[in-house]
């Protein structure tokens, strides 16, 4: 009996203590326990109102009752019922005569007071008539703007440009590179090509130091004037590699930069006129393999070797050695990747190369690499999958100079990515992109949304 009484007394004492302590505890209201993050709510509300640029538009139309009223309706619909607000638009002042950085333009609110506690967020908007432009620097040599030639010959055929035509590629080259050149000329046929090869400008442009982009892949357009034994046709070996040698000499004499966009450079020559009955064994007529009697199947290799001989000022020889390698997957150089953002060109950082030039050509033909578009690869040998070479004529204690002629080769597999071509040229010359100023006065306004809460917790 005594144990029962003792147990009851313990329960009474503990219960009395619990109620005594509970009476002294003041539990927070639900709003205090889990308060609304007003500044984050204000910011996300402003961002949502401007998701379709409606806030930006209304902020510059505060004198338009319809636009200004629609903004107030949209804001009210975006917030919980227990939220009071004040939205104010400020003009962002600039210039030395501005009295203050911000000056109020207009505001509205749904309550005379936001209470004792409120939070605010701000959001910067720009006027719809603001224009922001980039003015590219014109590529030049020695302070003199140079010419960009793009081969778009209607009387030639291309190869190794799967999925494209030379004309479509020429348009892409024009779109990407012409803003950086004072003069850009489309070579529309082989007669026009023949003129510049013979030192005749087409539009009064400067021939010296020009860049020539061949959009025909492994084929090179050839004027009919070079279908002779003195200029282009090697009758002994029944090869047009002599034409490629002549090209190399001309590139060197005018200090041109010749650009090959894909594949094995100078593998074919093309002219749909006098070569209309000739095809490249794949049914593409108007193309001739540069060495039709070459045994062993590597029939187009003398063209590249002959061009390099001409670029180096060496005597023409009929050399049918295949010199390119197949390194496979290759990667853009760190310099190229760093300039992708600057020039707004974003090809894949890895590509597949099956026609990479060996590093040995630099010593054989007095070349130096001025731009590595891709990293040198050591897969099966040392190769440069994409690089721009300059031919030097003087060597003073290992310092090369007096450059005459250049060659940019992209040894990629088939489908050409013209962005790589553009990047190679831009990375080599590195023209500056000048940012233009805003074209409108008072082009920025600051929107501040202040929020408070009403009602019980």
Phi, psi of 246 (to 5 degrees): -60, -40
Q: What is the pLDDT of residues 29-73, one digit of tens each?
A: 544 544 568 989 999 999 999 988 899 999 999 999 999 999 999
Q: What is the pLDDT of residues 67-120, one digit of tens each?
A: 999 999 999 999 998 899 999 999 888 654 555 688 899 999 998 888 777 899
Q: What is the pLDDT of residues 393-437, one digit of tens each?
A: 887 887 888 889 999 999 999 888 999 999 999 999 999 988 665
Q: What is the pLDDT of residues 300-319, one digit of tens each?
A: 889 999 999 999 999 999 99
Q: What angle do CA 418, 423, 427 make, to 5 degrees?
A: 160
Identify the weakest region by mean pLDDT among 7-16, 142-151, 260-269: 7-16
* pLDDT above 80: residue 232: yes
**Mean pLDDT over all residues of the chain?**
87
**Sequence-ordered list of residues with C-beta below 8 angstroms from that of 412, at least 6 positions apart, any chain:** 262, 263, 351, 352, 353, 354, 355, 385, 386, 420
* pLDDT above 50: residue 228: yes
pLDDT of residue 277: 83
**Sequence-ordered list of residues with C-beta below 8 angstroms from that of 323, at least 6 positions apart, any chain:** 301, 304, 305, 357, 358, 361
Contacts 24+ apart (CB under 8 A), 189-196: 189/153, 189/154, 189/155, 190/153, 190/155, 190/156, 190/221, 190/222, 190/223, 190/224, 190/271, 190/273, 191/223, 192/153, 193/151, 193/153, 193/221, 193/223, 194/223, 194/224, 194/225, 194/226, 196/149
Average pLDDT over residues 5-9: 58
Other Cβ atoms less than 10 A from the Cβ of 6: the count is 10
Q: Is 405:311 a contact under the CB 8 Å cutoff?
A: yes
| All domains in the chain, ordered by first residue | 36-132+442-453 (3.30.1140), 135-435 (no CATH)
* pLDDT above 50: residue 295: no
* pLDDT above 60: residue 24: no
Q: Which residue has the higher pLDDT, 160 or 115?
A: 160
pLDDT of residue 36: 65
Q: What percent of the chain has pLDDT over 90?
A: 64
CA distance from start to end of the chain: 51
Identify the weakest region by mean pLDDT among 187-201, 271-285, 302-316: 271-285
Q: Please give the structure tokens belonging to residue 16.
A: 């009395």
| pTM: predicted TM-score of the whole model, two decimal places | 0.69
Relative to beta strand 134-136, strand 433-435 is antiparallel
* pLDDT above 50: residue 283: yes
Q: Which residue has the higher pLDDT, 394 or 208?
A: 208
pLDDT of residue 359: 96
Closest CA to 223 of 257, 249, 189: 189
């Amino acid at each position: 009996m005594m144990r029962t009484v003792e147990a009851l007394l313990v329960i009474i004492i503990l219960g009395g203590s619990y109620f005594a302590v509970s009476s002294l505890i003041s539990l927070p209201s639900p709003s205090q326990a889990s308060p609304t993050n007003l500044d984050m709510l204000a910011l996300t509300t402003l961002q949502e109102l401007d998701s379709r640029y409606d806030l930006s538009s209304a902020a510059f139309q505060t004198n338009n009752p319809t636009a200004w009223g629609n903004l107030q309706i949209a804001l009210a619909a975006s917030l919980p019922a227990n939220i009071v607000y004040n939205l104010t638009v400020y003009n962002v002042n600039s210039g030395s005569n501005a009295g203050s950085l911000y000056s109020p333009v207009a505001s509205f609110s749904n309550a005379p007071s936001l209470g004792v506690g409120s939070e605010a967020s701000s959001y910067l908007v720009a006027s719809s008539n603001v224009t922001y432009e980039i003015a590219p620097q014109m590529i030049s040599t020695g302070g003199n703007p140079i010419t960009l030639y793009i081969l778009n010959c209607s009387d030639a055929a291309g190869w190794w440009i799967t999925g494209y035509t030379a004309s479509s590629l020429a348009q892409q080259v024009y779109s990407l590179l012409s803003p950086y050149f004072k003069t850009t000329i489309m070579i529309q046929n082989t007669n026009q090509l023949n003129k510049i090869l013979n030192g005749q400008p087409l539009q009064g442009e400067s021939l010296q130091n020009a860049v020539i982009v061949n959009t025909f892949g492994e084929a090179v357009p050839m004027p009919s004037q070079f279908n002779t034994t003195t200029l282009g046709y090697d009758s002994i070996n029944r090869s047009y590699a002599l034409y490629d040698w002549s090209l190399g000499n001309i590139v060197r004499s005018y200090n041109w930069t010749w650009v090959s966009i894909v594949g094995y450079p100078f593998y074919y020559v093309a002219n749909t006129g006098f070569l209309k009955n000739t095809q490249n064994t794949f049914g593409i007529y108007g193309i001739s393999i540069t060495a039709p009697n070459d045994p062993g199947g590597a029939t187009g290799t003398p063209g590249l070797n002959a061009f390099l001989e001409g670029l180096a000022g060496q005597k023409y020889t009929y050399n049918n050695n295949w010199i390119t390698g197949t390194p496979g997957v290759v990667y853009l150089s760190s310099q190229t990747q760093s300039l992708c953002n600057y020039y707004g060109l974003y090809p894949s950082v890895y590509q597949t190369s099956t026609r990479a030039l060996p590093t040995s050509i630099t010593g054989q033909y007095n070349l130096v690499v001025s731009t590595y578009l891709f990293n040198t690869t050591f897969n099966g040998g040392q190769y440069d999958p994409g690089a721009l070479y300059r031919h030097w004529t003087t060597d003073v204690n290992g310092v090369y100079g007096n450059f005459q002629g250049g060659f940019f080769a992209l040894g990629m597999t088939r489908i050409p990515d013209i962005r790589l071509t553009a990047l190679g040229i831009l990375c080599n010359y590195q023209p500056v992109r000048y940012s233009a100023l805003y074209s409108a006065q008072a082009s920025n306004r600051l929107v501040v949304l202040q929020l408070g809460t009403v009602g019980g917790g």
